[in-house]
C-alpha cells in the first residue's frame, strides 16, 4: 500500500481514486491476457483418432493427430486383411491429412493409419464407403444438433443412435452414410481442447467410418480452430458448384444435394457472395433431393426467439428474409438448423418471411395428409424446416411457434432416410424411443401453393 500511495493524492480523494486505479489495472490485465488465452486455445497436443472428410465417388480425406511429429501413412484396401494400397505424407507433422484418390464409387474400403513403422489405428471398424453416383441409391444421414457439450445426455443420445442404427441396419448398405451437425460443435468457446473433449472423443466411433459435415456455430466462432480442424470442398471436390470458400459449399451423395451455409461469420444480407453462389448452385444441380444446413433457424420459439430482432444479432431475421427466398425458389426440400436447444419441426411452408404474427396460414402453410407431406418438385413446391439443437442438452422456451407441427424440449438426434420419392425423418430420444416421425414425398400431382409467391 505504501508504494501505491505515492501515486495517490493526499486526503479523501485517494479513497475515490484507489478503486478507479484497481479497475484500470484489471482492464489492462484482461486486455493483455485475453488475446493470450484465445491464442493458447488454438492448440491441442494429444492424440486424435481418425475422422473422414470430403466424401466423393472416387476420393476420401482422412484426418488424425499424433502427440509427436511423424510421417503419416494410410494403408487401405477392399478387405480388412488385405490393405494393399498405401498413401504417405511427404513431411512429418502432428496434424495429419491424406486424401485417398482413384477409388471406386459406392465401394467399402478398410484402412489403417499410422507411420512407416506400423499402425496406430487399425481393425475391422476402420472403414468408409465412397459416395454413390446413382440417384437411385437409398441414403441415410443423421443430424446432431449443437452436439459439442460433453454431458451425460450427449452420451445417452450417441448410444441411442448407434444402438438404433445397429437394430435397423440396411441390407448391403452402410448403417449411416453421412453425419451432419447444425453447429456449436464445441462448448463453450470452441477451443481445440474443447473440440477434442466435446466432439472428437464422444463421436470417435462414428467419425472413423462416417464422413462428417459440420455447420459453423457461434460457439465454434469464439476461437480460430474450426476451419483448421475440418476440410471443406471449396473447389467442388464433393460435387456441386465450386464455391471458392470453405464457409459455404455443396456435397452430392447419391440422390442428395446438401448445401452447407455459414450464418455465423458475417451478416447474411444482399450482396453477400454466399447468396449469389447459392442461387447458381441450386440452379445447376440435378439431384432430386435438396437439403440445406445452417446454424441459425428462421423459425423458433425455443431457447431463442426468431421474432426478436435483437436475438442473435438479427441473424434469424436475416436468414428468413434473405436466405429462405433463394432456398425455396431453388426447390430445397428440408432446411436444418440448430442454435435453439430444442427440437421443432414445421409444416410444409412456402413464402413466409415475416414474424409468426403475420403468417398467412392458408396460403403459406400446408399440413400433412394421412401423415405424409406431398410437394411438387421445383421452385416453391414447399419446404420443411427443422430445428435440431438438442443433441447434448435441452433448454426451456415457449415452444409455440405457429408454423411448427412439433415442438419439444427433449434431447435427441434426427435420422433421415431418402429412398426414391420419399424422405422419412425420425427424431430419436436419448432412451432410444422415436418421438417425431415425418414423411415428405415428391408428388407431381400435389397442389401448388396459392400465395402468389411464384409470380
Question: Measuring CA to CA, how many Å separate 182 from each of 81, 341, 343, 428?
Answer: 37, 11, 12, 16
- Do 113 and 217 share a domain, yes or no? no
Stretch 320-329: mean pLDDT: 98
CB-based contacts of 7, cutoff 8 Å, min separation 6 = 21
> Are residues 243 and 94 part of one domain?
no
Asked if residue 54 belongs to a domain, the reply is yes
Secondary structure (DSSP) of 299-363: S-BSSSBTT-TTGGGGHHHHIIIIIHHHHHHTT--EEEE-SSSSEEEE-EE-S--S-GGG--HHH
200-248 residue pLDDT tens: 999 999 999 999 999 999 999 999 899 999 999 999 999 999 999 999 9
pLDDT of residue 36: 43
How high is the pLDDT of residue 352? 94
Does a structural domain hold residue 27?
A: no
64: helix, strand or coil: strand
Mean pLDDT of the 99-127 span: 97
Q: Based on the domain organization, do 249 and 295 belong to the same domain? A: yes
Is the pLDDT reported for residue 17 higher than 80?
no
Question: 274 and 372: one domain?
Answer: yes
Residue 117 shares a structural domain with residue 150: no
Specify if 171 maps to a domain. Answer: yes
Query: Rounded mean pLDDT of 37-62?
Result: 86
Mean pLDDT of 325-344: 98
Shared domain check, 195 and 116:
no
Q: Is the pLDDT confidence value at 260 over 70?
A: yes
**What is the average pLDDT value for the chain, to the nearest integer?**
93
Query: Region 3-20: what's the mean pLDDT?
Result: 60
Q: Which of 103, 129, 155 finishes a domain?
A: 129
Domain boundary among 84, 101, 129: 129
Query: Do residues 208 and 305 share a domain?
Result: yes
Number of domains in the chain: 2
What Å distances lie between residue 94 and 63, 70, 114, CA to CA? Answer: 11, 7, 12
pLDDT digits (tens, 9 = 90+) for 148-203: 999 999 999 999 999 999 999 999 999 999 999 999 999 999 999 999 999 999 99
- 53: which strand partners? 61
Residue 214 sits in the same domain as residue 300: yes
Examine the domain organization and report whether 185 and 265 are in the same domain. Answer: yes
Considering only residues 453 and 133, tell me which one the structure prediction assigns the higher pLDDT: 133
Q: How confident is the model at residue 293 (pLDDT cuts 50, 70, 90)?
A: very high
Q: Supply the CATH number for residue 353's domain.
A: 3.60.21.10
* Nearest alpha-carbon partner for 356 in 400, 304, 405: 400
Structural domain includes residue 8: no
Using the predicted structure, report yes or no on whether residue 38 has a pLDDT greater than 50.
Answer: no
> Where does a domain end: 129, 153, 171?
129
For residues 47-58, give the mean pLDDT.
98
What mean pLDDT do residues 242-266 have?
Answer: 98
- Verify that 114 and 205 share a domain, yes or no: no
> For strand 256-260 and strand 289-293, is the pairing parallel, antiparallel, or unpaired?
parallel
For residue 118, tell me if it sits in a domain: yes
Same-domain check for residues 313 and 178: yes
In a domain, 10, yes or no: no
pLDDT at 276: 98
Higher pLDDT, 43 or 164: 164
Does the pLDDT value for residue 253 go beyond 80? yes
- The closest alpha carbon to 346, from 329, 324, 378, belongs to 324
Mean pLDDT of 33-54: 75
Domain residues for the domain of 102 are 48-129
Domain CATH for 78: 2.60.40.10
Q: Is residue 276 part of a domain?
A: yes
**pLDDT, tens only, 351-406:** 999 999 888 666 799 999 999 999 999 999 999 999 999 999 999 999 999 999 99
Same domain, 145 and 123: no
72 falls within a domain: yes
Q: Between the CA of residue 53 and those of 36, 61, 180, 237, 392, what are the distances in Å?
A: 31, 5, 12, 11, 23
Amino acid at each position: 500500500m505504501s508504494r501505491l500511495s505515492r501515486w495517490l493524492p493526499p486526503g479523501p480523494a485517494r479513497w475515490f481514486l484507489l478503486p478507479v486505479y484497481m479497475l484500470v489495472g484489471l482492464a489492462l490485465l484482461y486486455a493483455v491476457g485475453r488475446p493470450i488465452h484465445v491464442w493458447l486455445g488454438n492448440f491441442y497436443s494429444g492424440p486424435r483418432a481418425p475422422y473422414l472428410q470430403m466424401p466423393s465417388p472416387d476420393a476420401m480425406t482422412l484426418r488424425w493427430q499424433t502427440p509427436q511429429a511423424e510421417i503419416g501413412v494410410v494403408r487401405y484396401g477392399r478387405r480388412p486383411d488385405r490393405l494393399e494400397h498405401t498413401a504417405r505424407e511427404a513431411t512429418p507433422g502432428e496434424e495429419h491429412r491424406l486424401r485417398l484418390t482413384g477409388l471406386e464409387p459406392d465401394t467399402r474400403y478398410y484402412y489403417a493409419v499410422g507411420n512407416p513403422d506400423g499402425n496406430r489405428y487399425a481393425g475391422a471398424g476402420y472403414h468408409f464407403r465412397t459416395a454413390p453416383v446413382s440417384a437411385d441409391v437409398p441414403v441415410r444421414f443423421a443430424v446432431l444438433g449443437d452436439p459439442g457439450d460433453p454431458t451425460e445426455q450427449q452420451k445417452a443420445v450417441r448410444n441411442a443412435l448407434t444402438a438404433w442404427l445397429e437394430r435397423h441396419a440396411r441390407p448391403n448398405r452402410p448403417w449411416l452414410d453421412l453425419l451432419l451437425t447444425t453447429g456449436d460443435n464445441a462448448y463453450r468457446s470452441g477451443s481445440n481442447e474443447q473440440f477434442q473433449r466435446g466432439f472428437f472423443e464422444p463421436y470417435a466411433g462414428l467419425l472413423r467410418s462416417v464422413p462428417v459435415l459440420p455447420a459453423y456455430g457461434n460457439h465454434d466462432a469464439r476461437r480460430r480452430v474450426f476451419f483448421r480442424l475440418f476440410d471443406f470442398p471449396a473447389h467442388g471436390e464433393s460435387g456441386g458448384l465450386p464455391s471458392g470458400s470453405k464457409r459455404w459449399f455443396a456435397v452430392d451423395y447419391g440422390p442428395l444435394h446438401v448445401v452447407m451455409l455459414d450464418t455465423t461469420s458475417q451478416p447474411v444480407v444482399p450482396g453477400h457472395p454466399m447468396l449469389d453462389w447459392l442461387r447458381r448452385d441450386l440452379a445447376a444441380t440435378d439431384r432430386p433431393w435438396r437439403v440445406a444446413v445452417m446454424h441459425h433457424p428462421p423459425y423458433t420459439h425455443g431457447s431463442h426467439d426468431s421474432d426478436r430482432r435483437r436475438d442473435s444479432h438479427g441473424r434469424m431475421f436475416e436468414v428468413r428474409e434473405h436466405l429462405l427466398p433463394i432456398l425455396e425458389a431453388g426447390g430445397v426440400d428440408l432446411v436444418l438448423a440448430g442454435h435453439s436447444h430444442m427440437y421443432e419441426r414445421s409444416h410444409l411452408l412456402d413464402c413466409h418471411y415475416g414474424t409468426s404474427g403475420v403468417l398467412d396460414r392458408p396460403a403459406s402453410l400446408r399440413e400433412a395428409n394421412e401423415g405424409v407431406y406431398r410437394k411438387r418438385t421445383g421452385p416453391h413446391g414447399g419446404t420443411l424446416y427443422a430445428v435440431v439443437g438438442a443433441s447434448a442438452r435441452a433448454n426451456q422456451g415457449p415452444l409455440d411457434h405457429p408454423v411448427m407441427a412439433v415442438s419439444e424440449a427433449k434431447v435427441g438426434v434426427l435420422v433421415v432416410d431418402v429412398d426414391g420419392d420419399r424422405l422419412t425423418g425420425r427424431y430419436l430420444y436419448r432412451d432410444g424411443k422415436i418421438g417425431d416421425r415425418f414423411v415428405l414425398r415428391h408428388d407431381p400431382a400435389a397442389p401448388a401453393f396459392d400465395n402468389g409467391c411464384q409470380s
